[in-house]
């Protein structure tokens, strides 16, 4: 039992310590430029087509409800 416990402990430590984390680049500055740009769009639609789809879906559900 002790040997099994030690083996499991070693395996768990090895997988946790050697697990590679994905490196994400900091894109906050890009998003700030996008949302602060004066292009006549309201802020809730500046994210593009996905934001427009979410907005229209929400408005449609609100009207039906």
Q: What is the pLDDT of residue 24?
A: 80
Q: What is the pLDDT of residue 14?
A: 59
CA distance 7 to 13: 10
Q: What is the pLDDT of residue 59?
A: 96
Task: Split the chain (65 residues) into runs of 10 and give each run's mean pLDDT.
Answer: 78 59 84 91 91 96 94
Torsion of CA 9, 12, 13, 14, to 10 degrees: 120
Q: What is the pLDDT of residue 5?
A: 78
């Amino acid at each position: 039992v002790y040997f099994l416990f030690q083996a499991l402990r070693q395996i768990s430590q090895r997988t946790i310590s050697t697990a590679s984390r994905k490196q994400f680049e900091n894109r906050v500055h890009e998003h700030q430029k996008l949302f602060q740009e004066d292009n006549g769009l309201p802020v809730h639609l500046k994210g593009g087509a996905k934001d427009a789809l979410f907005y229209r879906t929400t408005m449609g559900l609100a009207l039906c409800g």
